[in-house]
Amino acid sequence: MVQTAPVPETAGKLARRGLMFILSSPSGAGKTTIARMLLEADPHICNSVSCTTRPPRPGEVDGVDYHFVSPAQFERMVEDGDFLEWATVFGYSYGTPKAQVKAGLKDGQDYLFDIDWQGTQQLYQKLERDVVRVFLLPPSIDELRRRLTGRGTDSAEVIHGRMERARSEISHWDGYDYVVVNDDIESCFGQVTQILHAERLRRARQTGLIGFVRELMQPEA
Ligand SMILES: Nc1ncnc2c1ncn2[C@@H]1O[C@H](COP(=O)(O)OP(=O)(O)OP(=O)(O)O)[C@@H](O)[C@H]1O
Ligand SMILES: Nc1nc2c(ncn2[C@@H]2O[C@H](COP(=O)(O)O)[C@@H](O)[C@H]2O)c(=O)[nH]1
């Protein structure tokens, strides 16, 4: 019979640093939909709730979808250095509050960010090793327009503005680690989930590995 070494106690639950999982796309390509599916399916990732000066859409809840703040409040937060990143998108201000994220990462908490390319660049400059950047593309420009219209949350003028901006947003595709086409929602969700799972396994995130490997390498008694 082959004798196997006893499995060290830490095996299977090594300490890990959390990651910052960023989803970006042109407006309407489906990042909010994929983000909601991920948050529902995976208890180990939580949403980074942004602040915005944009008014709430029907059904959006303050503190859940966004922290809805006035332009003056937003300005004060910028001055106080409360944001990890912030940007102006479609004429409104959006920003990622610093407070919870930095401490949570150390404890192995993963965070999901639904932010644009400007915010992605800022987070990457600050916390490169923690950031995973995923860009979603629509299967076609016509389908993007259909999705924005079908969502039924924006006026024709707003949709026109978002379509105008879509091409310049798509031009940032090569600033991302992964690009996924959101054609079939389940298949897109499957691919995004695979990326998240693989990124969690990166050696650099396994902070418990050093101790574990040392234990494995102890000379025979
Ligand atoms: N694969 C898909 N097939 C068909 N419809 C989709 C798909 N993915 C998302 N949708 C629909 O497209 C619309 C836009 O999706 P969503 O709101 O998730 O986009 P978004 O990228 O978050 O947009 P924004 O940046 O404006 O918030 C929604 O009505 C959503 O249900
Ligand atoms: N740089 C940041 N961009 C953000 C943030 N929160 C959202 N966004 C992006 O804004 C647009 C519009 O969003 P919508 O909800 O008004 O449709 C979209 O591209 C989001 O990804 C943020 O904190 N920082």
pLDDT in tens, the chain (221 residues): 333 334 444 445 789 999 999 999 999 999 999 999 999 999 999 999 999 999 999 899 999 999 999 999 999 999 999 999 999 998 999 999 998 798 899 999 999 999 999 999 999 999 999 999 999 999 999 999 999 999 988 899 999 999 999 999 999 999 999 999 999 999 999 999 999 999 999 999 999 999 999 999 999 98
Query: Which residue has the CA at smallest separation from atom 17 of ligand 2?
Result: 27
Task: Name the residue type at position 45.
Answer: I
Query: Which residue has the CA at smallest separation from atom 2 of ligand 2?
Result: 115
User: Cα of 27 to ligand 1 centre, how many Å?
Assistant: 8
User: Cα of 94 to ligand 2 centre, how many Å?
Assistant: 6
Query: Which residue has the CA at smallest separation from atom 14 of ligand 1?
Result: 28
Answer yes or no: are the C-beta atoms of 71 and 53 closer than 8 Å: yes
From the CA of 119, give the closest atom in ligand 2: 1
pLDDT at 153: 86
Domains defined along the chain, listed by start? 9-48+108-216 (3.40.50.300)
Total Cβ atoms within 10 A of residue 199: 17
Cβ–ligand 2 distance for 116 under 6 Å, the answer: yes
- Which residues make up each annotated binding site for ATP? 25-32
pLDDT at 103: 82
Burial of 208 (0-12, 13-18, 19+ CB in 10 A): middle
pLDDT at 35: 97
- Residue 177 main-chain phi, psi, to 5 deg: -80, -35
pLDDT at 5: 39
pLDDT at 6: 41
pLDDT at 102: 82
- This model of the complex carries an ipTM of 0.96
pLDDT at 91: 92
